[in-house]
Amino acid sequence: MNTFLSRLNTLFAFSISVVAAVTFACFLTTHFLDYTQDVEIEVKKAIVKNMEEFYVGEKHDLGHLRFSLKANMTPVFNWNCKELFLYLMAEYETPRNKINQVVLWDKIINRGENAVLDLKKVHAKYYFFDDGSELRGKNITLSLHWNVIPNAGYLWRVKGRQDLGYTLPDSYAGSRV
Amino acid sequence: NIKMEMFDDFKRMNKRQVYYQVLNFGMIIASALMIWKGMMVATGSESPIVVVLSGSMEPAFYRGDLLFLGNDRSDPIRAGEIVVFKIEGRDIPIVHRVIKVHETHEGKIKFLTKGDNNEVDDRGLYKPGQLWVEKHHVVGRARGFVPYVGMVTIIMNDYPKLKAFNSVILNLLILLIFVLRQ
């Protein structure tokens, strides 16, 4: 009984040590890799409206975008990358806020799934409300980012190599010129 | 017979050995505390390591996973980051992703969060009347990740009886180590 328990103890301790070592090796072998990729973004249609934002109770500018997105994420995956959380971000400046960042669309790609993105003229997933009514005529920068979720290690946030500058319409949709 | 011998050994332990054991034990506790507080200073976060408690960030994080946090004040919070924040009046920290950021020209930041696995943003979770999360709500930002290691905390939380049981066992174990070491 004694030797059985002590053997079990040794086995358990050894297993834990091995798992810890392999986890650390996983982390170390992938920590210094370059996770950037080329990205192609196109805006197909954009309009600006003004309506009441849910919860907020105020009328704010709302942007409607249709965009196309092309990127190949396959080279980014490795044995330590279990998921990529991709998000398309619009950045712009207004008189009220120096920095505005709004996530318009996101996608989860797990290791093993098809990692080639080829979206054509899709709608944004999330509402593009401004913190005010300052979207008309604004220059926005659209960029694709991804969060590398490892099996164990650092949570990198990577920006695609290319981004797109776009100018939103000067007037509200449906209003007279 | 064996039992009696064990107690004889215990009695024979002289004062110096007892003091040594106590100091040894104290050193272990103090080292653990130093490491924890040191991490708090290094990362700028009041809780540098957190256990994921809900499934709202799946498939990235599952219940029981461990997150290493940072809270570098000179590096402003940006969209896409995973933040750990607390809502006023509630103890439990929430681990979600920032989906909207608005920063004024004076540097005042407010942001909106959403769990990857949730359909809608967190406005329904915030305090009534609260629309945004601000810097003072933030415990830290997720920088590193290790799976499964936090399971012990989850088990102890889910089965509070086990927690009490655990501490008794822990104390007995410590006593045993004391006796066996000498």
| Model confidence pLDDT, tens digit, residues A131-146 | 999 999 999 999 999 9
Question: Looking at residue B106, what is its pLDDT?
Answer: 92
| Shared-domain flag, residues B101 and B162 | no
At residue A31, what is the residue type? H
Question: Looking at residue B182, what is its pLDDT?
Answer: 47
| Shared-domain flag, residues B153 and B131 | no
Whether residue B59 and residue A110 make contact (CB cut-off 8 A), yes or no, is yes
Whether residue A108 and residue B116 make contact (CB cut-off 8 A), yes or no, is yes
| Shared-domain flag, residues B80 and B115 | yes
Which chain A residues have a beta carbon less than 8 Å from that of B100?
101-103
**Closest Cα to residue B111, out of B133, B138, B88?**
B133
Which chain A residues have a beta carbon less than 8 Å from that of B128?
none
Distance from CA of B81 to the nearest CA of A (A): 8
| Shared-domain flag, residues B135 and B65 | yes
Mean pLDDT of B47-55: 88
DSSP SS3 for A60: strand
Which residue of chain B has the CA closest to A97?
A: B104
Residue B11 belongs to domain spanning: 1-43
Q: Is A26 on the interface with B (CB under 8 A)?
A: no
Question: Looking at residue A177, what is its pLDDT?
Answer: 41
Quick one: three-class SS letters along chain B?
A: CHHHHHHHHHHHCCHHHHHHHHHHHHHHHHHHHHHHHHHHHHHCCCCCEEECCCCCCCCCCCCCCEEEEECCCCCCCCCCCEEEECCCCCCCCEEEEEEEEEEECCCCEEEEEECCCCCCCHHHCCCCCCCCEEHHHEEEEEEEEECCCCHHHHHHHHCHHHHHHHHHHHHHHHHHHHHHHC
Q: How far is CA B121 from the centre of its chain?
A: 25
pLDDT, greater one: A128 or A2: A128
Q: Which residue has the tokens 């927690």?
A: B163
Question: Looking at residue A137, what is its pLDDT?
Answer: 92
Cα→Cα distances A154→A107, A159, B96, Å: 20, 16, 17
Q: CATH code at B96?
A: 2.10.109.10
| Shared-domain flag, residues B32 and B85 | no
Write the CB contacts of A27 (distance below 8 Å, at least 6 apart in sequence).
A80, A150, A152, A153, A154
Contact B64, B114 (CB under 8 A): no
Choosing from B122, B137, B158, B167, the catalytic residue is B122
> Is residue B170 pLDDT above 80, yes or no?
no
Characterise B15 by phi-psi region: left (phi > 0), alpha (psi -120 to 50), beta (else): alpha
- CA-CA distance, B74 to A49, in Å (whole number)? 36
Which chain B residues have a beta carbon less than 8 Å from that of A108?
59-60, 116
Which chain B residues have a beta carbon less than 8 Å from that of A23?
146
| Model confidence pLDDT, tens digit, residues A22-57 | 999 999 999 999 999 999 999 999 999 999 988 888
Whether residue A23 and residue B146 make contact (CB cut-off 8 A), yes or no, is yes
> Is residue B2 pLDDT above 70, yes or no?
no
Distance from CA of B168 to the nearest CA of A (A): 21
User: How many domains does one find in chain B?
Assistant: 3
Helices and strands, counts by H and E, chain A:
1, 9
**If you average pLDDT over every residue of chain B, what do you get?**
83
For B59, the closest of A83, A87, A126 (CB atoms) is A83
Alpha-carbon radius of gyration of chain B: 23
Look up the pTM and report it: 0.82
| Shared-domain flag, residues B38 and B123 | no
Question: Looking at residue A176, what is its pLDDT?
Answer: 46
The predicted complex's ipTM stands at: 0.88
Please indicate whether residue B121 is annotated as part of the active site: no
**Chain A with chain B: Cβ pairs closer than 8 A:** 73
For A103, the closest of B99, B142, B147 (CB atoms) is B99
Contact A117, A97 (CB under 8 A): no
Which chain A residues have a beta carbon less than 8 Å from that of B144?
153-155
Percent of chain B with pLDDT over 90: 38
Please, which pLDDT band fits residue A79 given cuts at 50, 70 and 90? very high
| Shared-domain flag, residues B15 and B68 | no
| Shared-domain flag, residues B1 and B64 | no
| Shared-domain flag, residues B55 and B28 | no
Please tell me what DSSP assigns to residue A152.
S
| Model confidence pLDDT, tens digit, residues A99-133 | 999 999 999 999 999 999 999 999 999 999 999 99
| Shared-domain flag, residues B28 and B55 | no
- CA-CA distance, B100 to B173, in Å (whole number)? 50
| Shared-domain flag, residues B120 and B64 | yes
Q: Is A163 on the interface with B (CB under 8 A)?
A: no
Cα→Cα distances A85→A57, A108, A134, A148, B133, Å: 31, 5, 29, 7, 22
Question: Looking at residue B172, what is its pLDDT?
Answer: 58
Please indicate whether residue B105 is annotated as part of the active site: no
pLDDT, greater one: A139 or B13: A139
Residue A130, number of CB atoms within 10 A of its CB: 23
> Is residue B173 pLDDT above 90, yes or no?
no
For B80, the closest of A83, A89, A151 (CB atoms) is A89
> Is residue A160 pLDDT above 80, yes or no?
yes
Question: Looking at residue A100, what is its pLDDT?
Answer: 95
- CA-CA distance, B127 to B62, in Å (whole number)? 25
Question: Looking at residue B7, what is its pLDDT?
Answer: 60
Choosing from B8, B9, B54, B56, the catalytic residue is B56
| Shared-domain flag, residues B67 and B3 | no
> Is residue A73 pLDDT above 60, yes or no?
yes
- CA-CA distance, B58 to B13, in Å (whole number)? 54
